[in-house]
Amino acid sequence: RPQFLLACPLLRQQVPLSSRLPRFNHVSWRSEGGHDGDFQSRKSGNHTSHEHDTMLFICQVAITIGSLNLNNFSLEKSTTYSTALAKLFGDESLKLDIIALQEIIKNSSESPMENIIDLMNSSSARCEWGYKQSEYAGLGGKGKEHFGLLWRTSKVKHHETLQLDLKKLRNTYTRRPSVDVLEIEEKKLLAVINVHLKYPGVPTEWKKHAKRLSAGENCCCHSCSRLKSEIKHLPMVAEIAKDQIKGKCITTILIGDFNLEPHHPWFTDLQKKHRPLNAQPTNFLKSLPRVYDNIWVEVGKAKGIPAMVFDSSEAISNHKLVYSSVTISGQTRI
């Protein structure tokens, strides 16, 4: 365990914290009673004039979070690419802590992800991974589509899976978003909202629709109208997640395949409380590069460096892995 320091503005010096305090990446301190004083005298019990002061710690926890649309990842496809994906997800150079997955096709009792999880948790693996697969989210191109979530158990603990109130969403989504609450380093709660929004246009005409939408134009076809509605309801999804775990400080992150560039005007409402981290194309089509896969972090509660894109094999998926280092901020009283 690293040594943590207590910043005391009045003395302009740093005093080592007790090893009994929780583990944070960054810690600062101030008295809730509004008083500055010698921390050592408080610790020894000589401080009597402000006995009921408490300490407020501003803590920051850093994680690396990624997302990949697996492109109709069926049991048959898993047989061929399980080893390659297990190697990608466990790549220590990427240092991924959380991985959100889309387009997992489960048409039988066996999950296409089972072999991958076994490989990632084999005796030769350097760390242990947890996995949660969502309930049926919607009908994909090749069958029943599900979301998946991987997390590094040494840093992340699965807290709970939220069931979204469909009445409030009015059956807006073609694929119902999956919301998992994770506990980061035993202190911060993070709601990972995994999404795969409606595809713009019919498959044979998607390039025409994509070019029109990328230029900031509107499209009145059914699929684009549906996509617009799904995007407009994303802020409500985040609020529903917060409402369902009232009384707890939680940070929301929306992640996955949004099927639209983040600069489009349809994202105006979402941009009021969340910011996208990715600005790089995540598809393999050089003639029409698209920034569809993204990570949106909650403003004021999380910050992230510009997302990076990993060029995995196009044979595995027509999407690339997008990932970023995200710092979650919050307060803890001791």
Q: How do the pLDDT tens digits run along the chain, 334 residues long?
A: 444 444 434 333 443 433 333 444 444 444 444 444 443 434 444 444 444 444 545 678 999 999 999 999 999 999 999 999 999 999 999 999 999 999 999 887 789 999 999 999 986 677 899 999 999 999 776 778 999 999 999 999 999 999 887 677 778 899 999 999 999 987 789 999 999 999 876 555 666 666 667 666 666 677 888 999 999 999 999 999 998 887 678 999 999 999 999 999 999 999 999 999 999 999 998 878 889 999 999 999 999 999 999 987 778 999 999 999 999 986 544 4
Question: How far, CA to CA in Å, does 19 sit from each of 3, 30, 104, 156?
Answer: 8, 19, 43, 21
pLDDT score at 205: 62
pLDDT score at 7: 42
pLDDT score at 43: 42
pLDDT score at 110: 85
Q: Using DSSP, state whether 125 is helix, strand or coil.
A: coil
**List of residues 6+ apart from 227 with CB closer than 8 A:** 197, 198, 199, 200, 259, 260, 266
Adjacent-strand bridge partners of 181: 160, 191
What tokens appear for 223 in the block? 């699929």
Report the first-to-last Cα separation within the chain, whole angstroms.
19
Q: At what angle do helices 222-232 and 206-214 cross, to 10 degrees?
A: 50
Q: How far apart are CA 63 and CA 244, in angstroms?
A: 24
Angle at the Cα of 316 from the Cα atoms of 311 and 290, rounded to 5 degrees: 50
Q: What is the sign, positive or negative, of the torsion defined by CA atoms of 83, 86, 88, 92?
A: negative
Which of 210, 204, 301 shows the shortest CA–CA distance to 250? Answer: 301
Residue with tokens 């000589």: 46
Cβ pair 96, 65 in contact under 8 A? yes
What tokens appear for 328 in the block? 């979650």
pLDDT score at 267: 96
